[in-house]
Structure 1
């Protein structure tokens, strides 16, 4: 049935042709050519819009490309055509889980198990989902109110003794130096840990800095320096080291801004974030960090960072990371002219830089599903004018006219953002006013994309560098992810 209740008549010839197109789309999906498969499934749907499997097949492609909002819409169309089509509920459950909408996901998994009681995989996922929902309800009941003490009150560095057999770098006089940092990087490359006391010291130092920082930070590049803007790194530590080898280690003249999504998916997220935090401690005025949508509790539960920190250190350390992520700035303005945010722009027209400055991110803690903080972390550009519903199901999509108006209103020249994989590592769009930079090459070891970074001089000359992935130890992406996170690997 069509959505308006009218029957769509499809000839036998069109049914056969649509099936042939669907078979071609299936081959593209098997080859991991997801965007091409999406386009081909759309062709099949155009010829015969009555087959629910065409929509669920396209839905899984959208899941693979992180367009979870579109995946949910396709799953719902399949359910509309056939309310007994189990795969529609299954796809919607997976997409909602990817968005950390655990209750909605659980509701659909229960329907799947009801229709397919012998499906052990679906039952296991339902039970896992139930466990997450119960855990979140428990956590919300006991914490995160204004009287809840910080985890910092439970941390006593004096009680953390350094064992005689510890052969790693040591922090002296309670302050980090370049020698410690270089030794730490080498130790991480050798797949060894630093002592938990030093890891806690690094996180605590950065937490204190971030609590004192505004939500929007103004960056001035000294006349003898440059700043490098990097996008998502996603736990790809060895690629992060490659960035530093290509572009130089951070210093007062070789400044860096890492634009969110340091963690999750990649299985060396702890090494990445400790490296970035250590450089922030060493060079507080020359090294900058912005919050991404993956520096959030729900994403860390699903996509691996929480599991990784617990496996390598402790739950207490993850809670300290969570508090520190809550304090990360949301935006930076370079030389008063370039706004840098992780996701993008807003669902309303009148937003100013002062509105961003006034976001009380410390009180809000998590970005939620709407509002300025959410949109800063989740929104994406679109080629069409105006705004559209988010392909991800969170935030908005904004067109070139929205970008132009925002920049003019705030006396800015350009928007730099990250948040999306790009085949060549970066894309310039919206008449040159919106740049996406992504710094995790061969994302999740499967996508084959380049990574990129942007060097910016005091006169705002921009130089784009691209790079390929480098080898890393044989630890798969999503190694520490929940059952659902493992399903959501690209």
Structure 2
């Protein structure tokens, strides 16, 4: 953000704004806090505290690129300001950039040699870097790596007589099994590893047969429900099904990435989604998010949860399956659905996305990285990503992509929204986020109804977007169903 000229500084007013920002931060209103810190910076841009505080607020919104920029500015203003190094190191750590984080925590320890928290962070970072070096040293080249799925035969795993949980009879996952499994999960019971292996291995085969961009046809008068990030919030996933019905061929869903991490029930979420996919592939569609990756799963909890609830083999197996998830969907040749967003160059065609070799961990640049990580911005053109990965793209970029591919609308997820959804870019882009109580936000999901399947121009106005009455969750989170109607 620009800093005002010296003759326009107002340190007293800046302090008042900082205090207001601190209160907003304490209330978990991080976007409001950022705005207030920005106003304080505009009145007194040489106060390192303001920059470091805004960096912390950016971190809470997972805007790590912006956090690093602000923390670096705080360090530039005051090279001995410990919180600048702490904030930047924490942001690097959250991005998985361990070596950069280590440098900041080493400097932090020099500045604050007796600070136990600084010593703890340094020790954690050193341990993570050493583990990374060890893993790199013993890693097998990709060309020589054998699929862990090929080494698993779930038929050889015995089910103990005392096991009373959900069971798959033969090779078919039925609705009765899925319902029983969900009930067991609700009662804090585990699924037997034999059946967990069977589900994950079956999903792997289904997904591997799909292209990187999948076309879905929704018949006239039918609908598809698109859900955003769930992030391991199992009971909120069940709320979606309670409110909108269980997945079926008549009531299909598309979950748009970020099924796992952060929440405490990521294993239950992913096994439930995968089980529905096995039960009826046309009832459950799944796209990859940026959190369906090894690096994110190490940092944000899924790997540890899998190791605790299942075993080490499942850690590798889930990683393989995540690499098989499609990157995007096109609905009735008119609606483009992907987790993150658009690209750093114009001219990207659907055929280019379809041709992406997705069977790998997400790279740090290129089409695959950008489709998982990018975000819309209010300004035209392209800009740096607030996350430090991918990019920010404006309404003009959205318009050109839609025109070049004969599309009408982009539906994406990836960002927390105050109302659970947001319509941007002149009505051509919708963000939907489905993890309630994630930074104190609400949940939403979108029904896409097709009343006609030929020549479907988008009408976005009072007659096209309907918000039903809010309803209450067991945790008192308000939520809305959004009916997006496309007319001929």
Question: TM-score, normalized by length of structure 1?
Answer: 0.90
Alignment correspondent of 2:181: 184
Quick check: 1:109 aligned with 2:113? no
1:160 deviation in Å? 1.4
Matched, 1:25 2:9: no
Separation in 2, partners of 1:128, 1:197: 35
How many Å separate the matches in 2 of 1:203 and 1:464? Answer: 36
Counterpart contact for 1:38–1:61, Cα < 8 Å = yes
Change beyond 3 A, Cα 1:25–1:257: same
Query: Larger relative contact order (C-alpha < 8 A, sep ≥ 6)?
Result: 1
Counterpart of 1:455 in structure 2 is: 447
What's the counterpart of residue 434 of structure 1?
429
Q: What CA distance in whole angstroms lies between the structure 1 residues aligned with 2:382 and 2:197? A: 43
Residue pairs, 1:81-230, within 5 angstroms: 81-141=77-137, 142-143=139-140, 145-223=142-220, 225-230=222-227
Task: Give the alignment of 1:403-482 within 5 angstroms.
Answer: 403-443=398-438, 447-458=439-450, 459=452, 468-471=472-475
**Deviation at residue 462 of structure 1 after TM alignment:** 6.8
Q: How far 1:191 moved relative to its partner?
A: 1.2
Query: What SS does the aligned partner of 1:457 have?
Result: strand
Structure 1 residues 199-256: Cα deviation after superposition (integer angstroms, max 9, x where no partner): 0110000011111111000001134632110000111111111111111111111111
Mapped to 1, the partners of 2:326 and 2:181 lie a distance apart of 26
Residue deviations 1:297-347 (CA, integer Å, cap 9, x gap): 111111111111111111111110011001110000000100000000011
Question: Structure 1: where are the runs of 5+ without partners?
Answer: 473-490
Tell me the secondary structure at the aligned position of residue 168 of structure 2: coil
Q: 1:85 deviation in Å?
A: 1.4
* CA distance 1:468–1:344, change in 2 (3 Å): farther
* Structure 1 residue 174: Cα displacement: 1.7
Name the counterpart of 1:485.
Answer: none
Do residues 345 (structure 1) and 337 (structure 2) align? no
Given that 1:336 and 1:412 are in contact with CA atoms closer than 8 Å, whether structure 2 keeps it comes out as yes
Is 1:303 aligned with 2:277? no
Equivalent in the alignment of 2:382:
387
1:104 to partner: Cα distance: 1.0
Matches of residues 260-409 of structure 1 in structure 2 within 5 Å?
260-362=257-359, 365-409=360-404
- Secondary structure of the corresponding residue to residue 37 of structure 1: helix
- Would you say how many aligned residue pairs link Structure 1 and Structure 2? 462
- For residues 106 and 223 of structure 2, the distance between their equivalents in structure 1, rounded to whole angstroms, comes to 54
For the pair 1:53 / 2:45, whether they are aligned, the reply is: no
Aligned-pair CA distance for 1:133: 2.1
Instruction: Give the match's secondary structure for 2:90.
Output: helix
CA pair 281-237 structure 1, distance change in 2 beyond 3 A: same
Assess if the C-alpha contact under 8 Å between 1:442 and 1:468 holds in 2: no
Q: Distance in 2 between matches of 1:266 and 1:405?
A: 37
Following superposition, the deviation at residue 35 of structure 1 comes to 1.7
* Between 34-43 and 319-328, the greater mean CA deviation after superposition: 34-43
- Give the superposed CA RMSD: 2.0
Look up the SS of the partner of 2:92 in the other structure. Answer: helix
Q: In structure 2, what is the Cα distance between the partners aligned to 1:83 and 1:8?
A: 23
